[in-house]
Chains A and B, each alone.
Chain A
Amino acid sequence: MSEIINYCGNALSVLGSVNVWMWIILGTAIGIVVGAIPGFTSSMATGILLPVTFALNKVNAMVFLISVYIATIYGGSITAILINTPGAPESSATTFDGYKMTLKGNGCEALGIAFASSCFGGLFSYIFMLFAMVPIARLAIKIGPTEMFLIAMMGVSILAVLSSSANVPKTLLSGFIGLLIGTIGITPTGEWRATFGSIYVADGIQTVPAIIGFFAMSELFGMVGKEFIVNRDVQTKTSIRRILRGMKMAFQYPRTMLTSAITGMIIGAIPAAGGTVAAFTAYGMTKKSSKHGDEFGTGHPEGIVAPETSNNACTGGALMTTFALGVPGSSTCAILLGALSIQGLIPGPTLVRDQMPLVYVLIVAAILSQVVMLVMAIGAGYSLTNLLDIPTKILAPSIMVFCVAGSFACRNQMFDVFLMFVFGLVGYLMKQFDYSLSGMVLGIVLGGIADNQLIRAKQLFGDELLQAFFTRPVSLILVIVILFSVVWPYVAPIVKKKFEN
């Protein structure tokens, strides 16, 4: 306990700087704006903003990106409630009751409920993180190269669990190609591997152009041809007083808040599950257990409390997995993982073992950003819907300019810009046919780590490497999880059918 208090004290002293606060406020503002615009995902925002962090120290860089990540989910609820179009996929379940409340003339109250629930969910998960990180760090010491290799593989394979059986080959293929791209460059043994004679990829494929290409540019190409991001047919008027009244209403459902926060955090900790799954699960569970369950979908406040608490609590769980295991809890966390690497930090067990003070700075910063967000979201809810009126013919080329400048900033090489363009095209095609962009980017980020750990494991265990995977308890558990995640989509329909019978 004293260890945790020490880390928190240190974190607060670091966060006393005006500079850090500026980055929290800026990140939050950008996150809310981006989150409120449908089609602009948190991964797109963090991807484009990643080059901005090159010039920052590691605390400011990570605090900024984490603030953007968390705030996008806040922003997403604004358009979900006011115009029935979730700004972020995580806010999809909020439309069920949120928009119905708007149609009844209670849109401001719905916004207030969403903001208060989101704040509670976020705070709950980060406070839990404060207490969980030290025990996790103690466990992390026991993790060796075989486990690290398997954790990296699990990051990709677990995406398959969320796919339908028809999509499993496509998801795993995307992940494996990503891992293969991640292994390009000079190997730990000093050989030039699959560089195709280019010195630009000797250090490996840069994650920044890959992230911008796959997440930002593929979205951008989809935008071309549309007049506006959203065709609005409902005009809304907002009032701060009524938003505050709505915030009070949220606390009339403490049980729902607590259960949804726990649900969200657990789902967030599962790699790749993400906020959308968390929000729908919490909504479904609350609908079943609540005495107002029949009124869900007609504009009931509890129908907003559940998904909004859960999708924000999810971010804490996702960050916990990202920091402790080096396996991203969501596609945005994959970008945060890339940002950690760029800042010279090795994500995963070594991060919580060697950089615990920094981890605590980031957790406390996330707690503080929740408070900043609550204040800013009220203002945003009041004024932000006008942003949706910017036509895509202005937005799309302007964003492209930032993608180009951002990719160039990575190493000041045009090679990276062209690479980003190619990745964008491939990403657009992948999106058209339901291939996994998250799997691809996750693979690129984790490929090098997995390769290094496997070579280390080979040096350590020699000819008994294969046995090591099955005789070490943690490795064995991870092997089982990986196999389960690949097989489950095929088994699930059979199990479901049996239960229905």
Chain B
Amino acid sequence: MFRITLKNGVIEIKRELTVTLIFDIFAFAYWYSARKLSATAMMFPMFLLIGIAIFSIMSFIQGIHVSKELNELQHDGEEINFGITKKLLLFLALTLVMLIFYKPVGFVISIFVYLLLAMLILGMRKKLVLVLVPAFVDAFVFLVFKTWLEVPLPMGLLSFPK
């Protein structure tokens, strides 16, 4: 819950509206990008966009409460928490870094380093596990995707093993 204290009362905004807002921004971008297309091409999207507008308004009506009673314990902007912990944030950041280096460095090295660091972040301290699990997963992914399914996974720095 996010609260804004006014002179006459309090406006309470549910956190879930963040998702509705993300959806609305996407819907607006979609409309803006496709607004000049023919009526036939926009027939179904326009129907959907109208539906999205209606359901968004309904969500906002459900998610915003205006209360006239002032409570001293209520402060502006408290309790913003999306279930994202520090550990998760680090895990996400590491994953993003791995994705950026996936192609230039190659999947073998990037997966090995990623798994090692990710397990460290998540609290694994056994050295043998920190080495064996990345090695096993790396070998497994190589055999299944590269050798068996013939997916051209990027080899990057190790581009010699075909």
Using a CB–CB distance below 8 Å, which chain A residues touch chain B? 51-52, 54-55, 166, 168-170, 172-174, 176-177, 179-180, 183-184, 187, 189, 191, 193-196, 221-222, 224-225, 391-394, 396-398, 400-402, 404-405, 408-409, 412, 414, 417-418, 421, 425-426, 428-430, 432-435, 450-451, 454-455, 458
A458 CA / B44 CA spacing, docked (Å) = 11
Main secondary structure of the interface of A (DSSP, over half): helix
> Which chain B residues border A195 with CB–CB below 8 Å?
33
> Which chain B residues border A183 with CB–CB below 8 Å?
44-45, 48
- Given A170-B59, A193-B37, A400-B118, also A180-B151 (CB < 8 A): no
A179 CA / B45 CA spacing, docked (Å) = 8
The smallest C-beta distance from B35 to any residue of chain A, in angstroms, reads 10
Since A193-B42, A405-B153, A417-B102 are in contact, a sample of 11 more A-B pairs with Cβ atoms closer than 8 Å, ordered by chain A residue number, is: A51-B151, A52-B149, A170-B59, A173-B20, A176-B51, A177-B23, A183-B45, A400-B118, A433-B16, A450-B44, A455-B40
Pair A421/B19 contact, Cβ less than 8 Å: no
8 Å CB contact of A173 from B38, B52, B107, B122:
B52
A429 CA / B22 CA spacing, docked (Å) = 10
The smallest C-beta distance from A382 to any residue of chain B, in angstroms, reads 25
Stretch touching chain A among B4-12, B67-75, B82-90 = B82-90
Complex: chain B residue closest to A428, CB-CB: B83
Complex: chain A residue closest to B23, CB-CB: A177
Pair A418/B115 contact, Cβ less than 8 Å: no
A401 CA / B134 CA spacing, docked (Å) = 10
- Given A169-B59, A194-B33, A224-B122, also A451-B44 (CB < 8 A): yes
Pair B95/A400 contact, Cβ less than 8 Å: yes
Interface residues of B, count at CB 8 A:
64
Pair A421/B151 contact, Cβ less than 8 Å: no
A425 CA / B19 CA spacing, docked (Å) = 11
- Given A183-B44, A224-B87, A394-B124, also A404-B38 (CB < 8 A): no
8 Å CB contact of A225 from B29, B88, B118, B137:
B88
Pair B83/A432 contact, Cβ less than 8 Å: yes
For the complex of A and B, list the 4 residue pairs with the smallest distance between their C-beta atoms, beginning with the closest: A433-B16, A397-B118, A393-B122, A169-B58
- Given A224-B88, A396-B91, A421-B99, also A401-B43 (CB < 8 A): no
Pair A401/B55 contact, Cβ less than 8 Å: no
- Given A194-B34, A400-B118, A429-B82, also A172-B51 (CB < 8 A): yes
